[in-house]
A and B are shown apart, each in its own frame.
Chain A
Amino acid sequence: MKNRLCLLLLSAFAIAALPGHVRADATTPPEWAGIVNIEVSVLFPDYREPWNAGQPSGGSGTGFLIGKNRFLTNAHVVSNATRILIRTTDDPKPHPAKIVHIAHDCDLAIIEAENPETFAKMTTLDFGSIPRLNTEVIAIGYPIGGDRMSVTRGVVSRIDFRPYSHTSVDSHLCVQVDAAINPGNSGGPVMQDGKVVGVAFQGFSGRVAQNVGYMIPVPVIKRFLTDIEDGRYDHYVDLAVSDFPVENPAQRQALGLQDDGVGVMIGDVEPAGTVGELLKPGDVILAIDGNPVLNNGLVRIEGDLVNMNEIVERKFAGDTIQLSYLRGGKKEDASLKLKRFSPYVRLGSQYNQRPRYLVYAGLVFQPLDRNLVDAHQIRDATVNYVFERYLTDKLYVERPEPVVLTSILPDQVNTWLTPYAQSLVDEINGVTIKTLDDVKTALAKNDKPFIEIRLHEKNRPLILKRDLADAAHPRIMQTYNIQEDSYLGQE
């Protein structure tokens, strides 16, 4: 206890000096000066009134210098930011900064100070590797409970493949530590022997679990940094399959597997994914890039058993992968170019996006995604089904962007239609609605005096007389204070 107190006092002292003039010290190395507080002002987009700018809010996290004027932090620290300020404890001046790269799928971002000279002389932090289980690490950052830099200490508790909560639909390698990681620690380094071994990013609330914090380990960070080397982030690639562990002896035999623990069954395949045209349910993956895949879907990398996806995880779009698989008892080999599988993105939270919408005669159309479902608290069984089973029932193949009639702004023209809010749109004027843009195209068709909107699993068509609807449209826009009647995204 005495030790820790001492450390905190010392580190605070160290930071009190100006950047670039930090004294080398046994407990606070000079590069710690590059661990900064990031203060962010944000606008939460309003998916209920998508024409409005949204709700202003703010937050704070940590970042650290990894190159010339380059700070690494979490994507969630700077998501939806309208203003980013870098603050250091020894400098009263806030330093405006901007996002250079942001990767929501692995919750990492690079920001830089607007004035490149500000941090020019500061020493950068170096990366280590995946720390071993039960070795000591420290987490450094600016968590709640005070204003100055904080250090907490613990050991590596577990190395696992886990969901990343920023999008809630991405899973990557994740290291669990029992060093306290609290709000504000996000984006800060976790260090061992003077090297960064991870970025602190999420934890469990104390009501659920104790001393469970997570960091993004170096392989995930390195992958991100490599990906952006060409100046662009290209996202993760994916096999886009669901594996079903082969535990059942009858299943193992029927699939033609040996009793050597090798081979995992494919339970589902995404047709738009990397192996969509190659594999089908009931096939068995035996090896990826020569690494045998065990019955439970794990492979051995660098001595540790990890999810087979970890092999794909470290690759990039266009890289190849070697697959050995079994079909009907016969072994096959294939070499595949990896590609991104993007339909899943809409199932997770999305950021830095202006909500897309279209309003016509008081009817508000919006594309179905997690942000919309959360904002509208949708209870409609059809919309919930399509959202929940969008991937598993391959609904994205037919309707890449399901469109929801989210609300109806009451007016005399649509007064009989108001019970049909929160319905899924099937067809407008005979045009199948596959994306929000189709709504615009379909409404523009004016060969008939009526606009006919068909909804999924709603028994009656919604009918609007075109002349009445056209006349009502500007009136409704004005009454409900809507500046633009649509935002369909950048052209």
Chain B
Amino acid sequence: MQRLLFLLLCGLCLPVAAQNTAKKKAASSAPASAVQSTSLLKVNVTAQPYDLHLPWQKQSPLNSRGLGVVVAGNRVLVTAQLVADANYIEIELPDGGQKLAAKVIAVDYEANLALLESAINAEKEKAFFAGLKPMEVDASARIGDSLNVWQTGRVGDLIESPLTISKILVRRYVVEGSGFLVYETTGIVRSEANSFTLPVIKGGKLAGMLLSYDSKNQVTTILPGPIIEHFLKDFADGEYEGFPGLGMEFQVTLDGQLREYLGLKPESPGVLVTAVIKGASAEKAGLKKGDILLAINGQTIDARGDYKDPRYGALSSSHIVRGNAYVGDDFELKVIREGKEETLKGKLTRKNPDDYLVTPYRFDKGPRYILNGGLLFQELSRPYLDSFGEQQTENSALLRLSHIARHPDELEEAGLKKLVFLSTVLPTPSAQGYDQLGGIVVNKVNGQAVGDLKDLDAAFKAIKGTTHVIELDDFPHVLHLDAVAAEQDNLRLQGGAYRISSLKRLE
């Protein structure tokens, strides 16, 4: 009874949000839960991530089940986490159990969203979606609003868990990258078989998707409607560009002594810019380390780095660009540089994971590598370093790799696109004596500088005589590899005990 009342109230509130059509829909959908569930689908995924240490092979397949939300154009919205490294995806009608193979047509691992479409011919698709209704996105939720997590039972029956938004803030989702808007809610979420991508509903519309649930404290984080809206709008033209970013770091200026040192008046806003990422939007607009950032797009940044959002109140300034703007939009920064106020202008861009010296994340595609005579070369990535866990702070080679990863600027300036390193050595006759080596950055091969694995591939072909000369950044500094023996070993690696399918992956 309470629930019904809540939905009705919700419907009553809606007209304020200036969405006229929403009113009717929400009000009419409230009493009949069977109607509502026609926008939900079960999504079954078999994912198989690549082995980061033996990159020619994949790990064991993992099955996960989640829920998808039907959106316009017979498409299904899910979290990117659910479909990461997917081998096979199928969507399933919760009540009837019919299944349809699906594929990813747009995915954003930073925003943790993906859009699916039928992988089968149009006729089957039409029949499958015939009884389904697309759900609209709601971006109107505020602190104090009530939401509902939807799950489906065994026969498609709707299970609802009510939640209340207690905070709206900016936080990292799953992979590294700037923060995104998050609703933090309190309430109990029932545990059902669907582990991923639970839709969160407000007045019959999609207000968000469940990101995490802490059952001990009964705190849920929710990927909110405005980010979903942004994602769908971006893809409306069929081409997905992703969320833009300024590409800078700042420090708060709450410390009175620091403020005085920076010449900031007690009541003055502004944060201290402490890093500007090479090649990102802010750098292109001329932002420099040491600038005091006063405003982004006319929004004043306070000493904490927050701005006053008209909907949510104080919010991290990163949301001004991340959540509200698109790639290609104009932006404007107001800064104090050497005591004078300046305005910097530019167009928003986005740095893709492959544009970084150390790849922050990589899904669906296997890690790049070259295997030659048992010597395995890879490009350094964050997941590779993270796969060592605690060892990262103890192992000498890893400490050095991590240290280099923290200083990409100098290496990027030296012309490096990726950090190529000898990751491990498989025991072969041609690599005899080298099998204890690993984690060492490669400088040159056969006299040629190595800026990425493609360079390395070319360098191996540019052999002088019959011996490859591999120059390393660290002990033992130089290795020699007999090219003929290595070729024989390469054949053995492919056909013998290791059964390695391919000696390299460059894409």
Chain A residues within 8 Å of B, Cβ to Cβ: 242, 244-251, 253-255, 265, 267-268, 281-282, 379, 381-382, 384-385, 388-389, 392-393, 413, 416-417, 450, 452, 457, 459-461, 463-465, 468
Contact = CB atoms under 8 A, between A and B. Distances in A.
Contact of A452 (B255, B261, B274, B475): B261
A389 B469 contact: no
9 contacts: A251-B479, A251-B480, A282-B477, A282-B478, A379-B393, A381-B399, A381-B402, A385-B402, A461-B261
A251 B433 contact: yes
A203 B433 CA distance: 31
A267 B467 CA distance: 19
Contacts of B257: 413, 416, 450, 463-465, 468
Given A250-B467, A416-B256, 19 more contacts: A247-B433, A248-B430, A249-B482, A250-B480, A251-B433, A251-B479, A253-B480, A267-B476, A268-B475, A281-B475, A379-B393, A388-B396, A388-B399, A416-B255, A450-B257, A457-B406, A459-B274, A460-B258, A465-B257
Given A389-B396, A416-B258, A465-B257, A249 B469 contact: no
A248 B433 contact: yes
Contact of A244 (B274, B432, B476): B476
A139 to B, nearest CB: 35
A242 B475 contact: yes
Nearest to A450: B261
A326 to B, nearest CB: 13
Contacts of B431: 248
A457 B275 CA distance: 11
A385 B430 CA distance: 33
Interface string B247-270: 001010011111011000000000
A254 to B, nearest CB: 4
Contact of A246 (B258, B392, B403, B433): B433
Interface in B210-267: 249, 251, 254-258, 260-261
Interface in B461-494: 467, 469, 474-482, 485
A254 B254 contact: no
B128 interface: no
B490 to A, nearest CB: 15
A385 B258 CA distance: 29
A327 to B, nearest CB: 12
A266 to B, nearest CB: 8
Contacts of B482: 249-250
B434 interface: yes
A392 B254 contact: no
B403 A268 contact: no
A275 to B, nearest CB: 15
B275 A459 contact: yes
A333 B261 CA distance: 60
A268 B400 CA distance: 16
Contacts of B357: none
Contacts of A268: 474-477
Contacts of A457: 406
B373 to A, nearest CB: 9
Given A416-B254, A457-B406, A463-B261, A267 B399 contact: no
- Interface SS of chain B: helix, strand, loop or mixed? mixed
Interface residues of B, number: 38
Given A244-B475, A388-B399, A465 B393 contact: no
A154 to B, nearest CB: 33
Contact of A385 (B254, B400, B480): B400
Which of B257, B275, B430, B482 is the most central at the interface, judged by chain A CB atoms within 10 Å of its CB?
A: B257
Given A248-B434, A460-B272, A389 B475 contact: no
Closest 9 CB pairs of A and B: A247-B433, A267-B476, A459-B274, A416-B255, A281-B477, A244-B476, A250-B482, A254-B480, A248-B433
Contacts of A385: 399-400, 402-403
Contacts of B469: 254
A381 B485 contact: no
B268 to A, nearest CB: 16
Contacts of B434: 248
Contacts of B254: 416
B393 A381 contact: yes
B359 to A, nearest CB: 19
Nearest to A242: B475
Interface string B397-416: 00110110010000000000
A436 B428 CA distance: 49
Interface in B88-124: none
A254 B467 contact: yes
Nearest to B479: A251
A457 B354 CA distance: 24
A248 B393 CA distance: 32
A265 B474 CA distance: 14
Contact of B481 (A244, A245, A250, A450): A250
Contacts of A244: 475-476
Contacts of B403: 381-382, 385, 389
A413 B479 CA distance: 55
Contacts of B400: 385, 389, 392-393
A459 B399 CA distance: 20
A250 B402 CA distance: 31
A312 B132 CA distance: 83
Which of B254, B275, B396 is the most central at the interface, judged by chain A CB atoms within 10 Å of its CB?
A: B396
Contacts of B399: 381, 384-385, 388-389
Given A384-B393, A385-B402, A247 B432 contact: yes
Contacts of B467: 250, 253-254
Nearest to B469: A254
B393 A460 contact: no
Contacts of A416: 254-258
Nearest to B483: A250
A30 B2 CA distance: 98
Nearest to B404: A385
Interface string B412-443: 00000000000000000011111000000000
Contacts of A253: 467, 480
A280 B258 CA distance: 47
Interface string B262-303: 000000000010110000000000000000000000000000
Nearest to A393: B400
Contacts of B258: 416, 460-461, 463
B433 A245 contact: yes
Nearest to B430: A250
Nearest to A389: B400
A242 B258 CA distance: 46
Contact of A248 (B249, B474, B480): B480
Nearest to A458: B274
A464 B433 CA distance: 55
A381 B257 CA distance: 27
Contact of A265 (B260, B393, B476): B476
Given A254-B469, A450-B257, A392 B479 contact: no
B251 A460 contact: yes
A465 B274 CA distance: 21
Contacts of B478: 281-282
Contacts of A250: 430, 467, 480-482, 485
A382 B402 CA distance: 9
Nearest to A469: B257
Contacts of B430: 248, 250
A465 B262 CA distance: 12
Which of B274, B392, B469, B478 is the most central at the interface, judged by chain A CB atoms within 10 Å of its CB?
A: B478
